[in-house]
Amino acid sequence: MPTDDPRAPVPADVAATLTCAEPQAGRASVRRFGLTVVEGPATGATWQSATDRCSIGSHRSNHCIVDDPTVSRFHCEIAVDEAGARVRDLKSRNGTVLDGVSVLEAFLRAGSLLRLGKTVIRFDLGAEVNRLPLASEPRFGSLTGVSAPMRATFALLARAAESSATVLLEGETGTGKSQAARSVHREGARADGPFVVVDCGAIHGNLLESELFGHEKGAFTGATERRIGAFEEASGGTLFLDEIGELPLDLQPKLLRALEAREVRRVGSNTHRPVDVRLIAATNRDLRTEVNLGKFRADLYFRLAVVTIRMPPLRQRPEDIPALVDEILASLHASPAQVEPLRDPAFLARLRHAVWAGNVRELRNYLERCVVLGPGQPEPEGGEAGGDGFVVDPAAPYAAERVRALADFERRYFAGLLRLHDGKVARAADAAGIDRAYLYRLLRRHRIEP
């Protein structure tokens, strides 16, 4: 019987939201979703999605602002892709509870209830879609991709290149953040200026201040000469701060001041020197989570996240692998005899279904190995594997790795299941003991073609 109770249970067969590409129209269609507060101080408040992501929290910079003292500044995020809609807790103070279960990351369905502190929010699917712009060309600078996620990213990068705004690039290791930063520089108004890179994770904290701001002779033991820092070196161009999440807390206010005042003071000097730089930062961490944990200053995060662009992982764009293979092989200057077997359709299909925890960087390393040793190399694992072949990446956050590991298991299991049954979905579903319609849904989720 129908009910008007917003907290009524939802049938289990209600599908999650999906995205689909419309390459001819230059758009990606994303099923619109809405949020309604059904319990708590803001009861009755509603919010409708405009993109494929929604951050929820008490701070005014969130898409969905919840005025509740028990809700963290950055509490959780909802993201939509072809696998469905997922909610991810951002290490909030009171946690995220989905349909009565405390979660770190989980899929949503229409009617799901999220409890954030004293607030309960209902997730609803709309009948309409949002149309996200796609780049007309399958590349931006040195980045390549025909998939909707990458072409949507290219459109954002192109808009960022047209401005002088600070850009924060987020994404897993190996997704091309450095390439994206360099491409934004080359496509922008500062292309003729210097492009200076500082890896915040590779330089000891005591030396990083000097690396960024420079030092005077005698400023510290070993400072035998004056040295200009990266800010001064990049003046008139772009300063790229890689792994910005590794920046020590005691240096963060100094970086913030340099960005806001557009001037720096060398270590050991009392003189402030003006600088003219465009800043691009990159991180494989979620800085909002770091803010919640007290490891990153909120004011610096807001100054960096003027334009935030997330680089898609390779598992979300397997259709890009053939083009990436062509590009990588061309850069390796391999002989035709070495390259030909690596363009075989069966080999490319194997690459599409492999697990790439290291993303494009790992794909490149694997192809280099195949060029040298031949295409019969063991399937890439992308992380540490135990004796049972289960792959994990211990450097990744637990919640994200748990979701990824489950997705990797499903992708491998169902790809192998279809091969075992010659692509016959009905036969494969019977053998696996699951409903055929459900199997079709899982195959679409993981982009596995029968």
Domain co-membership, 196 together with 291:
yes
Mean pLDDT of 54-60: 95
Residue 143 and residue 59 share a domain: no
Mean pLDDT, range 181-189, rounded to an integer: 97
| Whether the predicted pLDDT of 205 surpasses 70 | yes
196 belongs to a structural domain: yes
The answer to which of 23-27, 92-96, 288-292 has the lowest mean pLDDT is 23-27
Enter the pTM of the model: 0.78
Mean pLDDT of 413-423: 79
- Where is pLDDT greater, at 165 or 450? 165
Is residue 118 included in any domain, yes or no?
A: yes
Domain boundaries, position 439: 398-446
Q: At what angle do helices 398-420 and 436-445 cross, to 10 degrees?
A: 120
Q: Tokens for 74?
A: 């950055």
**What is the pLDDT of the chain when averaged over all its residues?**
85
- Say yes or no: 291 and 177 in one domain: yes
Distance (Å, rounded) from C-alpha 192 to C-alpha 186?
8
Please state the domain count of the chain: 4
In angstroms, the CA 32 to CA 50 distance is 7
Question: Are 42 and 60 part of one and the same domain?
Answer: yes
271-275, 382-386, 435-439: which range is least confident on average?
382-386
Distance CA 182, CA 196 (A): 10
Instruction: Look at residue 19 and tell me if it is in a domain.
Output: no
Determine the average pLDDT of the residues in 388-395. 51
Within a domain: 97: yes
Least confident of 14-18, 92-96, 200-204: 14-18
Indicate the pairing of strand 101-103 with strand 272-274. unpaired
For 228, the enclosing helix (H) or strand (E) is strand 227-228
- 394 vs 153: which has the higher pLDDT: 153
Tokens found for residue 123: 């997730």
Helix then strand then coil, in percent of the chain rounded to 5, is 35, 25, 40
Q: Tell me, what's the pLDDT at 387? A: 36
Reading the block at residue 118, the tokens are: 């004293």
Mean pLDDT of all residues in 434-443: 82
Number of H helices, E strands in the chain: 14, 25
Name residue, tokens 């101080």.
41
Residue 393 forms part of a structural domain: no
* Whole-number Cα distances in Å, 372 to 298, 358, 380: 48, 20, 16
